[in-house]
Amino acid sequence: MKIVVCIKQVPATTEVSIDPETKRLVREGVEIMMNPFDTYALEEGLLLREAHGGEVIAISMGPKRTEATLREALACGADRAILLNDRVLGGSDTFATSYALSRAIAKIGNVDLVITGKQAVDGDTAQVGPGIAAHLGWPQAAYVSRVIESDSKHLVLERMHETGYDVCSLELPGVITVLKDINSPRVPTLKGRLASRKASINIWNASAISADLTKIGLNGSPTRVVATRSPDARDKHTIILDGSPEESARELVKILKQRIKL
Amino acid sequence: MFEARTYCPNILPGGGFSVKIDSNGSEYRDIWVLAELVGDDIHRVTFELLGVARNLASKLSKVKNREEEVVCVVLGSGLSEESRKRLFAGYADKLIIVDDEALRVFNDNIHAAVVSRLVRKYRPEVLISGATSRGRSVMPRVAVEVETGLTADCTGLDIDEDSGLLLQTRPAYGGNIIATIKCENYRPQMSTVRPGVFKLPEADFSRTGVVVQEELTEEEKVSRLRVLEEQTIEDATVNLSDAKIIVTGGRGVKGPDGFKVIEEFARAIGGAVGASRAAVDSGWISYAHQVGQTGQTVQPKIYIACGVSGQIQHLVGMQSSDFIIAINKDSEAPIMKLADVAIVGDLFEVIPEIVKLVRRDDELKKAV
């Protein structure tokens, strides 16, 4: 089975700032990590490879420092890693991002399954997985909580929704997005880490994936962030009560009564 | 498979309102709401969004100087007369109904294909749906299939008076940033909205409207994703979206007995009981109470998080609450920064004190 896992490198914190010009997140100088949902995606890919043989290819779109996260994927056992890196890819919204990733998947060729995490914890949109499926013209199954059965032609999956779950059959090639706790992501072994340091990561730019320039980057993104601000009615000054339980309770009741008067 | 991209740039330099036309020169118009069905019933988020759509249509009508309508698209099987009445009463001017046995079971791949076709046929200006797991599976697929932009989890939707553009606001980073997003040059402008973000409007049963029936094509009846079985969880939802006060227990509650303290607290102040995913996963309380990414989104007047650390997945479910109180032993827990009042302490010691005071205080009891 040829499996592509889409991984995103995200800030490891919610303390963020916005670049006043591009209105996009400032990513420099912020600690980074593999998007938590993607660690489950990677593990699921590795489990399927263990069951069926084949190859797990980790891909990611981002600046050069994304390589570190791809090396994590290699250290866990991915066979190859590809970084989509090009200045013109910067500032992409979910349409442009899913388009670029779909071009990379097309270039890899003969892919049976694409696995992504449900959503990235910085953007929180959950749009790229289904977007990749739509760009490829492949069927999708989102919110997958369990792979029940698998063979080279199809997967039987459990998907969650708010009021329950369903069981569905996905004919490959297809795209799935996975929830946390679908599996237990393995920790890289020492051997894996050493190997990953030496491994070479393919770097593909926009022309390598034959990207339509009108569909990538800031200019190819149908949506644009035009303004950012601090939350409205939310007073950023948190009132901290750290006295005794009796004191805190008294203060709280006082605050609530004032608030009710307003 | 896809038509030429619906790129329709502003023809007026420097902004201002301009009519958007597709490659055939046909105009985009009307506000569409993609309905969500829960079994044979209509999900409340559909009615919340019809209310929003009504406001958007009114404003858009002023900018464009012509009547813009609210259109509700319903895909399902056996939609009742009663449901149609409720949708008109909920401010839909027109219903586009696709009623087919093949739609009895929800299949996001099929829904996306049908909605994309209808969008290309009717050219809506705006298309919105609930940011439920279903909405978030269908809408991104539609957006790519018709080649336009989609903004997820909007907490605000408005029409810009000058340009007539949809202004989409959404929080990011646990609510630390509120972003405004526009989709200027592509149509339709698409958004998803979480249930409970907008208030349910008053129904007006004197209203009526037009019904348009559409059919599935033969290709649309088959999909490479087949649903084999559907299961509903018992005791599906505790209605937290109506609650004005919610008291939520998290990992710090330590067990089902700990939840008794939470329940007593909720009772004393007239609130509903919520739970974090950690508490539900540990089996201390049923999923029906879960607040957060994979639970319910709530917007109460007062939200009290007890022993909840405040992972992003929880925050996105409650960050729009009017007033947030957090009780946690850990002053560095993420929720403590989001809260309006952060009480550093043991919930098992603090809560009884609060309950004591509330019970004694008539003024507070009346207000609450």
CB-CB neighbors (< 8 A) of A121 in chain B: 312
Compare all CA atoms of chain A with the CA of B134 and give the residue at the minimum distance: A161
Q: Mutate which of A27, A172, A225, A230 to test chain B, going by most B C-beta atoms within 10 A?
A: A225
Delimiting residues of CATH 3.40.50.620 domain(s) in chain B:
31-221
Q: Say whether residue B186 is in contact with chain A using an 8 A CB cutoff.
A: yes
**A–B interface: beta-carbon pairs under 8 A:** 252
Q: Which residue has the tokens 């980790």?
A: A58
pLDDT at B233 over 90: no
Structure tokens at A116: 């992504």
User: What are the tens digits of pLDDT across the range B95-144?
Assistant: 999 999 999 999 999 999 999 999 999 999 999 999 988 999 999 999 99
What pLDDT does A18 receive? Answer: 65
C-alpha pair distances (Å), B277 with each of B106, B194, B292, B311, B345: 25, 18, 7, 10, 22
Q: Tell me the mean pLDDT in the region B212-233.
A: 93
CB B322 within 8 A of CB B233: no
What pLDDT does A261 receive? Answer: 62
Delimiting residues of CATH 3.40.50.1220 domain(s) in chain B:
245-367
pLDDT at A21 over 90: no
Q: Tell me the mean pLDDT in the region A34-45.
A: 95
Q: Say whether residue B301 is in contact with chain A using an 8 A CB cutoff.
A: no
Q: Mutate which of A250, A252, A261 to test chain B, going by most B C-beta atoms within 10 A?
A: A252
pLDDT at B90 over 90: yes
- Put simply, the answer to whether A95 touches B237 (Cβ < 8 Å) is no
Q: Mutate which of A256, A258, A259, A261 to test chain B, going by most B C-beta atoms within 10 A?
A: A256
For A248, the closest of B132, B334, B345 (CB atoms) is B345
pLDDT at B299 over 80: yes
Residues 6+ apart with CB under 8 A from B358: A253, B268, B269, B364, B365, B368
Compare all CA atoms of chain B with the CA of A14 and give the residue at the minimum distance: B173
Pairing verdict, β B272-275 and B302-306: unpaired
- Put simply, the answer to whether A163 touches B232 (Cβ < 8 Å) is yes
Q: Which CATH number fits domain B245-367: 3.40.50.410, 3.40.50.2000, 2.170.130.10, 3.40.50.1220?
A: 3.40.50.1220
What pLDDT does B206 receive? Answer: 96
Give the start-end residues of each E strand in chain B: 31-34, 37-38, 41-42, 70-76, 94-99, 126-130, 150-154, 156-159, 166-172, 177-182, 189-193, 210-214, 225-232, 245-249, 272-275, 302-306, 323-328, 341-344
Q: Tell me the mean pLDDT in the region A199-208.
A: 96
Burial class (CB in 10 A: 0-12, 13-18, 19+), B141: buried
CB-CB neighbors (< 8 A) of A143 in chain B: 133, 137
Q: Mutate which of B225, B348, B366 to test chain A, going by most A C-beta atoms within 10 A?
A: B225
Compare all CA atoms of chain B with the CA of A127 and give the residue at the minimum distance: B140
More confident residue, B233 or B280: B280
Q: Mutate which of A18, A140, A232 to test chain B, going by most B C-beta atoms within 10 A?
A: A140
- Put simply, the answer to whether A222 touches B183 (Cβ < 8 Å) is yes
CB-CB neighbors (< 8 A) of B41 in chain A: none
d(CA B160, CA B184): 11
d(CA B248, CA B279): 10
The residue ranges of every structural domain in chain A are 2-215
Residues 6+ apart with CB under 8 A from A162: B132, B133, B236, B237, B294, B295, B296
What pLDDT does A44 receive? Answer: 98
Compare all CA atoms of chain B with the CA of A181 and give the residue at the minimum distance: B281
Closest Cα of chain B to A199: distance in Å? 34
- Put simply, the answer to whether A162 touches B152 (Cβ < 8 Å) is no
Q: Tell me the mean pLDDT in the region B231-248.
A: 77
pLDDT at A101 over 80: yes
- Put simply, the answer to whether B152 touches A255 (Cβ < 8 Å) is no
Q: Say whether residue B245 is in contact with chain A using an 8 A CB cutoff.
A: no
Architecture of the structural domain at B31-221: 3-Layer(aba) Sandwich (3.40)
- Put simply, the answer to whether B143 touches A126 (Cβ < 8 Å) is no
What pLDDT does B2 receive? Answer: 35
For A131, the closest of B144, B151, B183 (CB atoms) is B144
Average pLDDT value for chain A = 90
CB-CB neighbors (< 8 A) of B329 in chain A: none
Enter the pTM of the model. 0.81
For A139, the closest of B133, B225, B367 (CB atoms) is B225
Contacts 24+ apart (CB under 8 A), B6-12: B6/B146, B6/B147, B6/B148, B6/B186, B6/B187, B7/A214, B7/B185, B7/B186, B8/B185, B8/B186, B8/B187, B9/B185, B10/B163, B10/B184, B10/B185
User: What are the tens digits of pLDDT across the range B170-213?
Assistant: 877 656 678 899 999 999 999 999 887 788 899 999 999 999 99
What pLDDT does B197 receive? Answer: 79
For B150, the closest of A94, A163, A244 (CB atoms) is A94
CB-CB neighbors (< 8 A) of B133 in chain A: 142-143, 160-162
What pLDDT does B239 receive? Answer: 73
Closest Cα of chain A to B282: distance in Å? 13
What pLDDT does B215 receive? Answer: 97
Q: Provide the terminal-to-terminal Cα distance of chain B, rounded to the nearest Å.
A: 57
Closest Cα of chain A to B208: distance in Å? 31
Number of other residues whose CB lies within 10 A of the CB of residue B258: 21
SS3 of B195, please? Answer: coil
Sheet with B166-172, side-by-side order of all strands: A224-229, B177-182, B166-172, B156-159
pLDDT at B13 over 90: no
Closest Cα of chain B to A158: distance in Å? 9
User: What are the tens digits of pLDDT across the range A212-257?
Assistant: 999 999 999 999 988 887 665 444 578 899 999 999 999 999 888 8
CB-CB neighbors (< 8 A) of A141 in chain B: 225
User: What are the tens digits of pLDDT across the range A158-193?
Assistant: 998 877 889 999 999 999 999 987 999 999 999 999
Which of B31-40, B49-58, B236-245, B321-330 is most confident?
B49-58
Rg (CA), chain A: 21
User: What are the tens digits of pLDDT across the range B179-190?
Assistant: 899 999 999 999
Residues 6+ apart with CB under 8 A from B186: A222, B5, B6, B7, B8, B147, B148, B149
C-alpha pair distances (Å), A47 with each of A150, B27, B44, B157: 11, 50, 39, 43
pLDDT band per the 50, 70, 90 thresholds, residue B75: very high
C-alpha pair distances (Å), B102 with each of A19, A200, B108, B221, B256: 48, 48, 12, 6, 43
Q: Say whether residue B68 is in contact with chain A using an 8 A CB cutoff.
A: no
User: What are the tens digits of pLDDT across the range A60-98?
Assistant: 999 999 999 999 999 999 999 999 999 999 999 999 999
| Helix and strand counts by DSSP (H, E) for chain A | 6, 13
Q: Mutate which of A14, A116, A169 to test chain B, going by most B C-beta atoms within 10 A?
A: A14
CATH number of A2-215: 3.40.50.620
pLDDT band per the 50, 70, 90 thresholds, residue B4: very low
Average pLDDT value for chain B = 88
d(CA A80, CA A201): 7
Query: How much of chain B exceeds pLDDT 90, in percent?
Result: 65
Residues in chain B: 368
Closest Cα of chain B to A200: distance in Å? 33
SS3 of A199, please? Answer: coil
